[in-house]
Structure 1
Amino acid sequence: MNLSSRSKAILICGAVILSVSLGVRHTFGLFLQPIVMEQGWGREVFAFAIAIQNLVWGIAQPFAGLAADRRGAGPVILVGGLLFASGVGLMSVAGSIPIFVIAAGILVGLGLSGTTMPVVFGAISRAMPPEKRSMAFGIAMSVGSLGQFILLPGALGLIDHVGWAYSLMLLSALSAVILPLSFALRENRKDQVGTTNLEAHRAARLALGDRGFQLLSFGFFVCGFHVVFIAIHIPVYLLDAGLSSTVGSTVLALIGLFNIFGSLAAGWLGGRFPKPQLLSFLYLARAATIAAFVLLPPTPTSAYVFAMLMGFLWLSTVPLTNGIVASMFGVTNMAMLGGVIFLAHQIGSFLGGWLGGAIYDRFGSYDIVWAVAIGLSLVAAAVNWPIAERPVMKAVAT
């Protein structure tokens, strides 16, 4: 893409920030087994902390997005990076359930609200011409996925050699890389129309009252349910099936690797075909992929094939969903509106993470959650199809 040096800097640094924040977060599923075994906690404790993380992340996201729209993304990312690194570090020394929930749930959740897609995509969307936004989102999301692919085998190796606590300390140090990168995403928002509380309230009211935005939010809720349930519980699900921890970490790494291709493909396709219909096809493909995986006997081969297919579909929803939001409401309040729709995603994430642990502890199986995941995929495919990708109001869609 032919871009100015400023636009390139925002895209590159924003993509690296996503790579670090999403990559470190994606390793958390590897820590479930060693932490609960050493601390003597049930799986629900760990799952609840991660569920709280996703809920806090979702609740804080609209406010982080509003701050980024008004003050620029840089300061928000700086504060988010500090909170994120602090939370990961505190996880390594948390010896009680309340401290662990504060660290993994509240601090990391708040940190993620300032260092992930809505805030970063808001800055990228304002730096890009409309015809290049979808592809830019896809590029940023693919680099974010690269962090997942690289950090997962690295985190597993660290856990094996130095233990889970030191591994979390090192991941906390890595997260501090976000701090200097945040300065590249500083924006002068004082001259921008639509960054006042009145304009932000108006945009939020229009979005929440729009049927298409409501349906899009439900689809994103389903996406959140899928990704957190799988990311947190797939390693132990495979261990329960008699497979090794290496298989579990490889599955998560493959998801990150193939998400690179899926995000790039979604960004490219989103600039050429209707995004709502693309989302419908993605959710149908998720339903078929999950159903095939749980019905077939678990083997390393079936797990790897599932990872590659699911990885391609993993966060391909993100550039498409954000692209629809930009088309409907413009980019002036993009981070705030992205945060609003992301709240729906994180409510789904809370339920996917927590229900996985709660249902397993009560029934000794994940079968119910897999069935719910398939059913939600089918509903999401149906509700995304009729969404009309058009400006809701010209005064907002700038």
Structure 2
Amino acid sequence: MNELAKVAADSVGAAQCVDIRKFADGMFNKAFLMLMDDGQEVVAKVPNPNAGRAHYTTASEVATMDFARRVLDTPAPRVYAWNSNAQSHSVRAEYIIMEKAQGIQKRWLSISFSHYGGLYYAKDMKSSPVSHYVQDGVVIKKSEFALGPATGRDWHDAGRADLDIRRGPWSSLSQYLRSIGERETKATQILDPPKQIALFCGLKLYQPDRKEKLTALGQYQKIVDAILPGNKTIRGPYLWHDDLHDDNIFVDPNNPGKITAIIDWQSCHVSPLFNHNADPAFLDWDGLEPENLDLTPKPDLSRLSSEEKSAALRDYAHVNVFIAWRKLMQAKNPDLFEVTEFQKTASYGLLFLAHRMFEYGEAHFQSLLVDLKDTWPTLTAITGQSEGNYGRTVADKGFIDHERYDACKAALEEMKEQLIEQLAETEEERAEYERYWPFD
């Protein structure tokens, strides 16, 4: 830590760091606010081992932030110093020293790329870069930026980082998507099955099946080119920030309508526009997709309790803000709106599930494949009870406050006992459900 503080001080021309404060832990990084003797403040960020591939994740994040700030005109933090080779310096860890945030999508669509993959500085690529980007219709070939290996989480998680596979860049969408299928096939063939965290498994429930996964992936390779969207723009390679929640967006306190910084560009990479999140997370809508863009009428509150009224009004506001956002997108950014329409289709569901087939999805994939046959000519109970009983015990991404940890753990244990009581008929079955329970 002392060496990291020295690097931070040197990066902004300060004599020394006089105070260090740790930010709340994230899933993939540790971050520290460092105060210098001359009053300057910087943020030091150190990736956790699960953040991604050594060197590539940090190198790509720094280049992506610089590209976003200087080329996309997006207020990403300025980087003062960084190093992606942990063994080459006294800190002995990869790090990024960046400015503290004080406090567009149309612009992001103005730039597309020749290849799919991770964004880097050209000097950090071992081989001669051949990629380029297109800005407002102008091809930019002589650039300090280049496309290299993909840095998305799906290229690293559950042991995938160690696979000997093609990681990009790819010059065509077909190459990119087929490489995903090859990656999941190889992971399924040679890696130990990962612990299930998205699904509860057991004898009478879903159980991962290696043979079924490989069958589904074989089917994916046969149909992938046929299920792509017809809109050429949404098939194109674009850089996007897919995690625009409140903690990643900073605004001017004196002018809340002005965004001063967008942070957390780690693992952002250039991929098909239809793979990106068109709806920013800060909209806070996790309900069903609206059937149309008509605003929802105000609910009848006459027979509701005060608590029920508050919940109904909150849902009413959230869904209508979401619909208004979609209407604005349709009018101002029709290609992005087309992404949301494609993401409702079985074709997109098949493409989406293929990205994580090693972990889960083969049963749902087969189901969507059956549904797809009806539209082929046009192509180019327990979980509900649990949420009712326990509510949103765990927040998004599994984060909980320290003071709620014991209560949440107890609630999950109670839920586990109820589920096993309903499902297990023998001691053998009970032991099997215990083995698959994801939260111990």
TM-score band w.r.t. shorter chain: under 0.3
Give the alignment's TM-score, normalised by structure 1: 0.27
Structure number with higher relative contact order (C-alpha < 8 Å, ≥ 6 residues apart): 1
Structure number with bigger Rg: 2
Specify which structure has the higher proportion of helix.
Answer: 1
Give the alignment's TM-score, normalised by structure 2: 0.25
Specify which structure has the higher proportion of strand.
Answer: 2
